[in-house]
Amino acid sequence: MSNVTVVTKFILVGFSDVQEIQTLCGVLFLVMYLAALMNNIIIITLITLDLQLQTPMYFFLKNLSLLDVFLVSVPIPNFIVNSLTHNSSISILGCALQILLMTSFSAGDVFVLTAMSYDRYVAICCPLRYEAIMSDGACVLMAGFSWATGIFFGAIYTAGTFSMPFCGSNVIPQFFCDIPSLLRISCSDTLVVIYISFGIGMCLGMSCIICVVISYFYIFSTVLKIPTTKGQSKAFVTCLPHFIVFTLFGVTACFVYMKPSSNSTTIIDRLFAVIYIVLPPALNPVIYSLRNADVKWALKRLLHNICSRLSFHVKHF
């Protein structure tokens, strides 16, 4: 044990060791981050201010956008700063905070997406009872459960991971702190706590997947019974984007966190991590809302009100 070096900080591996490429990656990630931030803030603002968007579907979408903003804001700004300053180190406390927040917001995303699938199921399969089932209280309860369970899961996962000592190599072969890499450099002989956390996460994740699959089985069965092609198309346009986003998020998350252990990662591993972290927050507003007629009209009304107020102030200046 006298030759063991205790780890006091970690080194994050980016996409290249060449400084020029590091700078280019930093700029590209900055553009993607600002796009994701802007799209989600627009959606949050519209749903908050427009009375016609005060429905359960948009309530859950607002929660999803909030979680996406928080999720993408945990690792990406740190990676941008590291790329532009060519400094890839992160403290143990900073790494623990990344794990806590990313796990919490990722789990919250999954639960909100599951609640959205249930909302679509009720809207299409039980339209006459929709307002009674998806009441304000029920929606708040489901959203609160999503946030609270995500935070709880993130807390036990982080506590389990950082209750173990780290020694030897301090290199994390990702551009953010990820649990599989930390487990590989742990000195602990027992991983009981992390296995329990992983088991809880697997049970919750499988429960969400089963709920989404069952919801969409009934949704598609009901939609196919609609006599008109126009009605079927409208229902599919409403539901398919959610199913695609959930599938993309789930597949990439499984690849990032559940692939077989390895002492090094390839560029493909890091690209999947980018898809998992950056793409859903950037694309969710576009897929769900910015192509939606209600949201387009809400955006037009907001811009019209802003222009009217600006012209009013200019005239009276």
| pLDDT tens-digit map of 122-159 | 988 888 899 999 999 999 999 999 999 999 888 888 88
Q: What is the pLDDT of residue 133?
A: 92
Q: What is the pLDDT of residue 308?
A: 73
Q: What is the mean pLDDT of the chain?
A: 80
Overall average pLDDT of the 155-171 stretch = 79
Overall average pLDDT of the 183-205 stretch = 72
Q: What is the pLDDT of residue 144?
A: 94
Alpha helices in 92-173 (DSSP H): 92-125, 130-133, 136-162
Q: What is the pLDDT of residue 291?
A: 57
Overall average pLDDT of the 281-292 stretch = 70
Q: What is the pLDDT of residue 6?
A: 63
Of 304 and 99, the structure prediction assigns the larger pLDDT to: 99
Q: What is the pLDDT of residue 59?
A: 93
CA atoms 123, 127, 130, 133: torsion sign: negative
Of 149 and 225, the structure prediction assigns the larger pLDDT to: 149
Q: What is the pLDDT of residue 2?
A: 47
Q: Is the pLDDT of residue 252 over 80?
A: no
Q: What is the pLDDT of residue 264?
A: 52
Overall average pLDDT of the 178-196 stretch = 71
Geometric angle at alpha carbon 9, from 3 and 11, rounded to 5°: 100
Q: Is the pLDDT of residue 3 over 60?
A: no
Task: State how far the Cα of 73 lies from the Cα of 66, in Å rounded to an integer.
Answer: 11
The CB-side HSE value for 206 (13 A sphere, CA atoms) comes to 6
Q: For the beta carbon of residue 141, count every other beta carbon within 10 angstroms.
A: 12
Task: State how far the Cα of 177 lies from the Cα of 185, in Å rounded to an integer.
Answer: 12
- Per DSSP, the three-state class of 52 is helix
Of 261 and 306, the structure prediction assigns the larger pLDDT to: 306
- Per DSSP, the three-state class of 300 is helix
Q: Is the pLDDT of residue 174 over 90?
A: no
Q: Is the pLDDT of residue 15 over 50?
A: yes
Task: State how far the Cα of 192 lies from the Cα of 188, in Å rounded to an integer.
Answer: 10
Q: For residue 71, count CB atoms less than 10 angstroms from its CB and return exposed for 0-12, middle for 13-18, buried for 19 or more.
A: buried
CB 180 within 8 A of CB 257: yes
Domain ranges of the chain: 9-315
Task: State how far the Cα of 138 lies from the Cα of 132, in Å rounded to an integer.
Answer: 9
Overall average pLDDT of the 84-108 stretch = 88
CB 292 within 8 A of CB 46: no
Q: Is the pLDDT of residue 290 over 70?
A: no
pTM of the model: 0.84
What is 9-315's CATH topology?
Rhopdopsin 7-helix transmembrane proteins (1.20.1070)
- Strands, E, within the chain: which ranges? 9-12, 89-91, 171-172
Q: Is the pLDDT of residue 163 over 60?
A: yes
